[in-house]
A and B are shown apart, each in its own frame.
Chain A
């Protein structure tokens, strides 16, 4: 990578990616509203929300929450930047996990039942999607022979043809990561559904704003992972992302929240068996 590329990757990773996620969140809210026969907020509403949060008073019930929110932001941003540097996927994933861990650690420091229960549910969500994402990355390695993102762009056929089942597994993980039904057990992705937001409950004002921005980074990263499945053409990437995201919205609006037991059981049963089938298939191909 030359210095121009490094600079571009930094700009895209630090500015454009989270901004795009914010926009997607706005579009998501509009489409969801239409599906529910409502008009919905302006597309820029997520940005207005975050700006408003930054103007609020800094009231905390434990000062470590401030610490944890910044670590979450830095980790999520680092993971996204590493992605645009076309670095090691497994490493990117582990860096991203730093953020998730600190979100939980912060929530656990407060003796509020909502935040405690939310934190434990978030841990169960991490427990559910982590193995699935690792296996998706291993599947990509089986096709390309390398864990680096750069190796994927050297392929001639889209990954989707090699890893169709893995793509479904990624869909599971994506639904959990986007905090959408039926897997929004630790915090719903829209605050309008409930004021008490599980793992987010005790993060307030500017710190909640930071958490929101960090979450945008994470969304950008997971969508980036989705885009790798059609790395051969720009139109392919855009179509794949649009279709995938639209399906996520449909699932979100047509299902209700399930329990963590159901989430863990179904995601592991389906996800692990699909992964194994796809990996075995690649191994003996």
Chain B
């Protein structure tokens, strides 16, 4: 059964992708996507009952390694071809470097026939599989009506949806392979495959800007590929194994080992779009919204933080680990500051992603069991809330034809349901009792012994509140007195939105149980292998209250207060509706027949307008980007040099 589940999660998406590409009828596409989504989600949940597991080489009697090797070379030749055709020096260089390295590794170094488990599942990979398969599938389903509208706007001669959906589903398979595999070279293959998928998705519309941005994403991720392959080669020369579990267990923590760890983290940074590599993820915003939603929540960038988190035990307790934490915390702060200066909704979401991933990487660097728990919580809750926000913005954008948050004023009047969902989505990013805040709370409490990191987390956290609260207020604004009717929406648009929102609430409520059933085993495993990890008491979760000697987070009681308070507030809202409506305060010169205008010179009716503070001179992209990129490069040098 386990074999079948793994087959469904890793191989079936490849088959579904072929189906989507070759059977181009609309009905068949919808059918394949829905079936694949349900299968993936179901398989990812069933997999939990088998964890932890380690599967011997070969799956259903198939030997994978030769196939993966062949595909890997194909992939690299493809990158090389793109580089040469576009005359892009960086892509060409990076692809050929990887080809040479891989050839040396495969032909001269690696002794095949070494028996190590092919797939390994522990708490972290289970969590990632669930995020990829469930959140990812929801996004792909939401893409069905979205892409139909998208192509209607473009008036295409021939639909390009078959390619698009094939790549989306392929992406999910690649991610599942990436988080489940235990062979480092297979990991490398899946890592490069996600690079290819993101490249294809970003350039999907084939406009000039889409192609430019896709090319940028490709060269940055190829740089990550080079770093990863260098690290694999180095580690293989050092330890003589490609078994990832064995590498982590036997990590010697010498300079000769920490430098390749630095390269691994560099690869993670490029994939997770950490400063100074954020530009590819921001450029990816030109792609259709499902692409952004997928890249930001359940795939691609999560592969980067997964890599760092996976190898975190190997460098526990070193200065290198602190350097990773500082680099992550800096990104959390700097990307948050950049988000303040933006009025483009998707850019705010993008910077927020970069910022939150920085927080996750900071947790990996702090590297105590509590911090790792925080990182796992953040991965899960960020995926759900961020996917929700992207899908909301995508849905809104198709309706109002703008992604500028200033144009979303009055949204509650035209799209009441989506507006409320978006407000709740924003709140789940910043406020208790929701999961993101729980993760942030755990992160700050575990960082409290490190002055530099905790200052950056404190400031970054305040900045986060600023840009989310501002946006939530705009969603709720509307001209009073109008009759509000629920908007019409495709079934496959509404269900994913409501589903993700419910997910964000239910998972937050279930956080104490998720902690005991999923995260605690992972911490116990960590403590049994690494004695230095045991000094923090894990949380006790009696009565839905997370508590240890250091702190307490009463999740379920807070939820009850939240529900009670919410009901009270809704009652008050309904009661207020029965009253006479008035216009806003306009210094007493309101016009009687239009209460939103005041009487100006020559008795003109003037409608006052206000816009958000974006504080561009402090937080604008052009002001900040250069400085923070410079600082981030310094920190990465510190990180890699810190190993020596």
A residues near B (Cβ < 8 Å) are 57-71, 74-75, 78, 87-88, 90-91, 94-95, 97-98, 101, 104-117, 119-120, 123-124, 126-127, 130-131, 134-135, 138, 141-142, 145-148, 196, 201-202, 268, 272, 275-276, 279-280, 283
Contacts and interface: CB of A to CB of B under 8 A. Distances in A.
B568 A95 contact: no
B585 A196 contact: yes
23 contacts: A58-B576, A59-B580, A61-B582, A62-B478, A63-B480, A66-B572, A66-B576, A68-B569, A70-B569, A74-B569, A90-B551, A91-B553, A95-B432, A98-B431, A108-B472, A124-B466, A126-B462, A134-B458, A135-B458, A138-B448, A142-B449, A146-B550, A147-B448
Given A74-B565, A74-B568, A138-B454, A113 B610 contact: yes
Contacts of A275: 455
B409 interface: yes
A62 B477 contact: yes
A71 B569 CA distance: 6
Given A131-B458, A148-B552, A275-B455, 16 more contacts: A64-B412, A67-B576, A68-B569, A74-B568, A90-B551, A101-B465, A108-B472, A108-B473, A111-B584, A113-B608, A113-B609, A119-B473, A127-B465, A134-B457, A148-B550, A276-B451
Contacts of B576: 58, 60, 63, 65-67
Interface in B437-475: 437, 441, 444-445, 448-449, 451, 454-455, 457-459, 461-463, 465-466, 469-470, 472-474
User: Which among A65, A67, A69 has the greatest number of chain B C-beta atoms within 10 A?
Assistant: A67
A115 B473 contact: no
Contacts, number: 208
A111 B552 contact: no
Interface of B: 409, 412, 423, 427, 430-432, 437, 441, 444-445, 448-449, 451, 454-455, 457-459, 461-463, 465-466, 469-470, 472-474, 476-480, 549-554, 558, 561, 564-566, 568-570, 572-573, 575-577, 579-587, 595-596, 608-610, 612-613
Contacts of A112: 584-586, 608, 610
B472 to A, nearest CB: 5
Nearest to B552: A88
A61 to B, nearest CB: 5
Given A69-B572, A112-B608, A146 B549 contact: yes
B385 to A, nearest CB: 16
A215 B568 CA distance: 18
Nearest to B580: A59
Contacts of B612: 120
Contacts of B582: 59-61
Nearest to A150: B552
A151 to B, nearest CB: 9
B435 to A, nearest CB: 13
Q: Lowest 10 A-B CB distances belong to which pairs?
A: A108-B473, A112-B584, A74-B565, A130-B462, A116-B610, A66-B576, A134-B458, A70-B569, A131-B458, A147-B551
B454 A97 contact: no
B458 A108 contact: no
Contact of A131 (B455, B473, B595, B608): B455
Nearest to A61: B584
Contacts of B448: 138, 141-142, 147
Given A58-B579, A60-B579, A66 B573 contact: yes
Given A66-B576, A67-B573, A71-B569, A109 B451 contact: no
Interface SS of B by simple majority: helix
Contacts of B480: 60-63
Contacts of B437: 94
B591 to A, nearest CB: 14
Nearest to A268: B459
B455 A135 contact: yes
Contacts of B412: 64
Contacts of A71: 565-566, 569
Nearest to A96: B432
B407 to A, nearest CB: 14
A90 to B, nearest CB: 6
A280 B586 CA distance: 51
Contacts of A134: 444, 454, 457-458, 461-462
B202 to A, nearest CB: 33
B459 A131 contact: yes
Nearest to A95: B432
B462 to A, nearest CB: 4
A27 to B, nearest CB: 31
B271 to A, nearest CB: 30
B33 to A, nearest CB: 37
Nearest to B550: A146
B283 to A, nearest CB: 28
A111 B551 contact: no
Contacts of A196: 585, 587
A249 to B, nearest CB: 27
Given A61-B581, A130-B461, A74 B558 contact: no
Nearest to A277: B451
B469 A104 contact: yes
A91 B548 CA distance: 14
A106 to B, nearest CB: 8
Given A67-B572, A109-B473, A97 B579 contact: no
